[in-house]
Structure 1
Amino acid sequence: MAQSTAAAAPARGHPKGLYLLFTTEMWERMSYYGMRALLVLYMVGATDKGGFGWTQSKALQIYGLYTGLVYATPVIGGYLADRFLGQRLSVTLGGILMMMGQFVLAMPGNAEPLFYAGLGLLVVGNGFFKPNISTMVGGLYEPGDPRRDGAFTIFYIGINVGAFLASAVCGTLGEKFGWMYGFGSAGVGMGLGVLVFLAFAKRLLGNVGTAPKRVERKADVAEAPVQALTRQEVDRVIVILVLALFVVFFWAAFEQAGGLMNLYTDAKVDRNVFGFEVPTTWMQAVNPLFIMLLGPIFAEMWTGLGRKSKDPSIPAKMAMGLLLLSFGFVFMLGASKQSEAAGKAALMWVVAAYFFHTAGELCLSPVGLSMVTKLAPTRFASLLMGVWFIANAVANYLAGLIGGFAEKLGEFDLFLAITVATAVAGVVLLAISPFLKRMMHGADETKPMASEHPAPTSEPKTQVA
Structure 2
Amino acid sequence: MRSGERTFFGHPWGLATLFGTELWERFSWYGLRAILATFLIASPANKGLGMTQETAQAVVGVYGALIYLVALPGGWVADRILGARRSVLWGGFVIMCGHISMAIPVSTPAFVWLGLLLIIMGTGLLKPNISVMVGRLYPEEDDARRDAGFSLFYLGINLGAFIAPIVVGWLADGDRWHLGFSAAAVGMALGLAQYLWGGRNLSGVGERPGVLLSPRERRRFGGVAAGAALAVAAALGLWAASGTLTVSRLTLAITVVILVVPVAYFAYIMLGSHDLTEDERIRMKAYIWLFVAAAIFWMIYDLAPSKLLFFAENNTRLSLFGVPIHAATTQAFNPLFIMIFVPVFAALWMKLGNRVSTPQKFGFALVMVGLSFVIMAVAARLAEGGKVSVWWLVLVYLVQVFGELSLSPVGLSVTTKLAPEAFKGQMLGVWFIAVSVGDAVGGQTGRLTRVLSEPMYYLVLAVMAVAAGVALFLFTRRLREMMAEHHEAAIR
Q: TM-score range by the shorter chain?
A: 0.7 to 0.9
Shift in alpha-carbon separation, 1:294–1:23, aligned structure 2, 3 A: farther
* Structure 1 residue 76, shift from structure 2 partner: 1.4
Task: Read off the aligned partner of 1:391 and give its amino acid letter.
Answer: A
How far apart, CA to CA, are the structure 2 residues paired with 1:310 and 1:181? Answer: 50
Q: How do residues 35-434 of structure 1 correspond to structure 2 at under 5 angstroms?
A: 35-139=32-136, 140=138, 142=140, 145=143, 152-176=150-174, 178-201=176-199, 203-204=201-202, 206=203, 208-214=205-211, 231=277, 241-273=288-320, 276-302=323-349, 304-305=350-351, 310=354, 312-340=356-384, 342-372=385-415, 383-433=426-476
How far apart, CA to CA, are the structure 2 residues paired with 1:95 and 1:34? Answer: 15
More contact order relative to length (CA 8 Å, sep ≥ 6): 1
* Structure 1 residue 337, shift from structure 2 partner: 2.2
* Structure 1 residue 42, shift from structure 2 partner: 0.6
Cα-to-partner distance string for 1:151-197 (whole Å, 9 max, x where unaligned): 65543332221111111111211124711111111111112222323
Max Rg structure: 2
Secondary structure of 2:451's counterpart equals helix
Percent identity between the two aligned chains: 37
How does the TM-score come out when normalised to structure 1?
Answer: 0.79
Task: Read off the aligned partner of 1:337 and give its amino acid letter.
Answer: R
How far apart, CA to CA, are the structure 2 residues paired with 1:114 and 1:54? Answer: 16
Q: Is the 8 A contact 1:73 1:386 kept in 2?
A: no
Q: Is the 8 A contact 1:4 1:207 kept in 2?
A: no
* Structure 1 residue 238, shift from structure 2 partner: 6.0
Quote the residue 1:223 is aligned against: none
Task: Read off the aligned partner of 1:281 and give its amino acid letter.
Answer: A
Number of equivalenced pairs: 426
Q: Is the 8 A contact 2:57 2:446 kept in 1?
A: yes
Q: Is the 8 A contact 1:152 1:369 kept in 2?
A: no
Shift in alpha-carbon separation, 1:19–1:322, aligned structure 2, 3 A: farther
Quote the residue 1:463 is aligned against: none
* Structure 1 residue 84, shift from structure 2 partner: 2.8
Cα-to-partner distance string for 1:274-313 (whole Å, 9 max, x where unaligned): 65432101111111111121123334545x54xx965844
Task: Read off the aligned partner of 2:130 and give its amino acid letter.
Answer: I
How far apart, CA to CA, are the structure 2 residues paired with 1:247 and 1:8? Answer: 40
* Structure 1 residue 16, shift from structure 2 partner: 5.5
How far apart, CA to CA, are the structure 2 residues paired with 1:14 and 1:314? Answer: 31
Shift in alpha-carbon separation, 1:408–1:135, aligned structure 2, 3 A: farther
Secondary structure of 1:54's counterpart equals coil
Q: Is the 8 A contact 1:334 1:349 kept in 2?
A: no
Q: Is the 8 A contact 2:168 2:183 kept in 1?
A: yes
How far apart, CA to CA, are the structure 2 residues paired with 1:197 and 1:374? Answer: 33
Shift in alpha-carbon separation, 1:177–1:70, aligned structure 2, 3 A: same
Shift in alpha-carbon separation, 1:388–1:8, aligned structure 2, 3 A: farther
Task: Read off the aligned partner of 1:384 and give its amino acid letter.
Answer: M
The structure where helix makes up a greater share of residues is 2
Cα-to-partner distance string for 1:408-448 (whole Å, 9 max, x where unaligned): 31221111112111112223334455555566678x989xx
Q: Is the 8 A contact 1:150 1:299 kept in 2?
A: no
Q: Is the 8 A contact 2:46 2:175 kept in 1?
A: no
How far apart, CA to CA, are the structure 2 residues paired with 1:28 and 1:104? Answer: 16
How far apart, CA to CA, are the structure 1 residues paired with 2:455 and 2:327? Answer: 20
Task: Read off the aligned partner of 2:404 and give its amino acid letter.
Answer: E
* Structure 1 residue 121, shift from structure 2 partner: 0.2
* Structure 2 unmatched ranges of 5 or more: 214-273
How far apart, CA to CA, are the structure 2 residues paired with 1:18 and 1:48? Answer: 46
Cα-to-partner distance string for 1:196-220 (whole Å, 9 max, x where unaligned): 233335524x45544433359xxxx
Secondary structure of 2:303's counterpart equals helix
How does the TM-score come out when normalised to structure 2?
Answer: 0.75
